[in-house]
Amino acid sequence: MAKDVEQVTEQPEYSAKDYHDPPPAPLFDPDELTKWSLYRAAIAEFIATLLFLYITVLTIIGYKRQTDTSIPGNTECDGVGILGIAWAFGGMIFILVYCTAGISGGHINPAVTLGSFLGRKVSLVRALLYIVAQCAGAISGAGLAKAFQKSFYNRYGGGANTVSDGYNKGTALGAEIIGTFVLVYTVFSATDPKRNARDSHVPVLAPLPIGFAVFMVHLATIPITGTGINPARSFGPAVIFNNDKAWDDQWIYWVGPFIGAAVAAFYHQYILRAAAIKVLGSFRSNA
């Protein structure tokens, strides 16, 4: 009588985590300055911001011209409206982030770059170069819009951001802080490696929620500040239009987005992802 033989099969070992966090970027890496990938990424940021400003500024100017009642046949109901302007900004961000994410990360915004730096996703060298490229691209994009439509550009404000009548600077600053928080929080969440691993079966592109966040914030804050949430977007038209009101309010479009980005980075990295607790745990395990 044959004996029953039990076959023991080894169970595969599963990792406690089905995702891997990338290592934190160094604060300063001199070797990065010798790599072409850094300058290629900066060029991508420059071109993307140029295209972003060119399309969105022309959308704003076109809307104001279509609703200019001093022109025979125009009514205040003509044009794309605030909804169309918001779609232009959100749609362009979706397109450009999709195109440049694999090259530079698709920041197209100094506030996003600052948040990424505080979250240890980019080095100081890369962050500074990105911000310079973004501001240069914004100036070039606004300048290109003016070159093609100089008379309309000067007549309809050049797409420059200013605080709307009836709102004080405190309200405008708060709108920029909260609006940028929404954007940068969405960026961190959409690009989180833990979310990507967990939701890998869901065919959703990361640029989609980012672009949609830009769209929603514009709907809420266009009546207040014209919507900055991107210092380069406000800086470029201010340089080209060169209006006193735009320069007087310019600080709001830098301080607000940078505060919002810093708070969003801290909230996502150190509260939701508990980065501080993980670092403390690693110190205790090594002790």
Cα–Cα distance for residue pair 189/88, rounded to 1 Å: 23
For residue 176, which of 227, 216, 242, 134 has the smallest C-alpha distance?
A: 227
Cα–Cα distance for residue pair 24/119, rounded to 1 Å: 8
Number of neighbours of residue 224 by Cβ within 10 angstroms: 17
pLDDT on residue 191: 87
pLDDT on residue 277: 55
pLDDT on residue 283: 40
Domain 30-271 has CATH 1.20.1080.10: yes
Instruction: Give the C-alpha distances (Å, rounded to integers) separating 46 from 11, 136, 265, 269.
Output: 51, 7, 24, 27
Query: What pLDDT digit, counting tens, does each position of 37-62 carry?
Result: 999 999 999 999 999 999 999 999 98
Cα–Cα distance for residue pair 133/236, rounded to 1 Å: 12
Cα–Cα distance for residue pair 170/175, rounded to 1 Å: 9
Query: What pLDDT digit, counting tens, does each position of 218-254 carry?
Result: 999 999 999 999 999 999 999 999 999 899 999 999 9
- Do the Cβ atoms of 56 and 211 come closer than 8 Å? no
Buried b vs exposed e over 152-182: b needs ≥16 C-beta within 10 Å?
A: bbeebbbbbbbbeeeeeeeebbbbbbbbbbb
Residue ranges of the chain with pLDDT lower than 70?
A: 1-20, 195-204, 275-287
pLDDT on residue 280: 47
- How is the chain split into domains, by residue range? 30-271
